[in-house]
Chains A and B, each alone.
Chain A
Amino acid sequence: MTDAIVKLTDVGKTFWRGTEAIKVLDGLTLDVADGAFHALMGPSGSGKSTLLNLIAGLDKSTAGTVQVAGQNLSQMNDGSLADFRARNIGFIFQSYNLMPVLTAAENVELPLLLTKLSSAERKKRAITALRVVGLEDRTGHFPRQLSGGQEQRVAIARAIVNDPKILVADEPTGDLDRKSADDILNLLVRLNTEFKKTIVMVTHDPEAAERATTTLHLNKGALIEQRTKGAA
């Protein structure tokens, strides 16, 4: 593990419900190597989504350190976290979360509004990203005119458009049928192998987890199993 892009050391996360403390993560340590494809599995409430949020810089840990892409997220304020996300993280959600009022190309272009790129350059990059996911013929369509699988591919194009180092996916196939799910997983594998994106994916689906290089099992806020393909 020479170059870990994600490095979690002794991370804890406690939520407060009134006066009752709920420990979601407790003393978790984890390294994700650059270029890895990790699947996070575990029952509801195991803390896998919380772990994903911490890696993505959406949430802050209450104990330990979270280092991602060489930056210590535990010490950053909200503004720098937003900036960090814009530069380093690509998001893929279970329910796609596309803006219904924007076309496919415009949805992909959205994160680029935070950059200083010209309008023409932004459009060019959006089209490129759509080409990567195989939807260059759907640029002018609105989300409601697309199938679920297509919507998710637009969301993936949006995630990669600013060329982040890490893709974070929360149940990316949860709302899809088997065929579309396989297409999305093939795409993720391709992004991992061909474009060298580090991917961390939360999933319930064992078949989806199969496609990852490493599968992590979480239970009650602790890592109980780590299995890497070919290493066993």
Chain B
Amino acid sequence: MVPISYNLRSLTHRKATTFATAFGITLVVFVFAASAMLTDGIKTTLGKSGSEDIAIVIRDGSDAELSSSLDQPNVGIILSSADVKRRADGQPDGVGEIVAVLALDKIGTEGVSNVQVRGVASASYAFRPTIHIVQGRQARDGAEEAVVGRAIAGRFRGLALGQSFEIKKNRHITVVGIMEDRGSSFESEVWTDIETVRSAFGREALVSSVRARLRSASAYPAFERALKSNRQLGVEVMRETDYYARQSEGTGTLISVMGNMIAFFFSLGAMIGAMITMYAAVSNRSREIGTLRALGFSKMSILFAFLLEALMLSLLGGIVGVLASLAMNGTGFSMMNLASWSEITFTFHWTPQIAMSSLIFAAVMGLFGGLFPAIRAARVNVLQALRS
């Protein structure tokens, strides 16, 4: 076996070429990892919004809360199910909320963008214990006040603490608090009083959805069966986790298709780059190879040595690319969610799995790029190589 230090020295010998090739692979791995991080971020942002033991009820036939509406009296009927958990005060642990979309001026751009508005009661805050007010205070029931998610606070006109926005002509809502929820999609919402939203949007006595915390996650099938069999209600029931997985589908697919396509083309280019470098290395060192062979190294060990060199080259690039992608972790990426037509801020989410698959991706590029040159190296004719 040819010692590894031989490959290492060969790589450091031709610094410029090694650098150019490794840097190319770095760029490819970075783009690959970043798109995987964003796809993962979309899933976690929307995934965090849902829990296993919560069921969401919307009108049958509607895709999302936004297009759904249920009559207020149905809220009581839905929550009266025995499968719904009780709060300390004996009331069922569930909320009926109304969702609307508001066009607001996006700071830094010329246009308006849509923001999701949720009409809530104070029970909504208690219902989601992971939500914390990080600045200011909770909005009071019945007041013209709002709490804004951290991800959009300050990014739209009127959505900073202490500012106000118009929900209807001459009807101003003041932002009294900023909330945080582990990066979930609620951080991209505006929460204000349910009656305010109803009257502003002409949806009196309606809700968009009902959420109910079940006695346990396993109580869900019975809950679903009971509601669906009630034809008069005409509702669709889903686990909250399933609901948000569906909400992330369109946007997640868009990003991952684009990302994978770009990574595919990039990797072809990088593989060819690695191949050029390795072929040049082989032809420049045919004399060295001849000498090694004359010293008694086998064809296999030459093949292995050059493959190893290509692998080290690509892993060098890959490691730098992964480190660079690590710097993107937690960065916000704001875009329109295709399911709600409103803006959501997703964050790049780094995971060890993404790092691993990026390194494997780099290694595969190196091995494919190095395979043919290594075969050529193994086939070098000893006598000719020494004579040249």
**CB atoms of A and B under 8 A apart anywhere in the complex?**
no
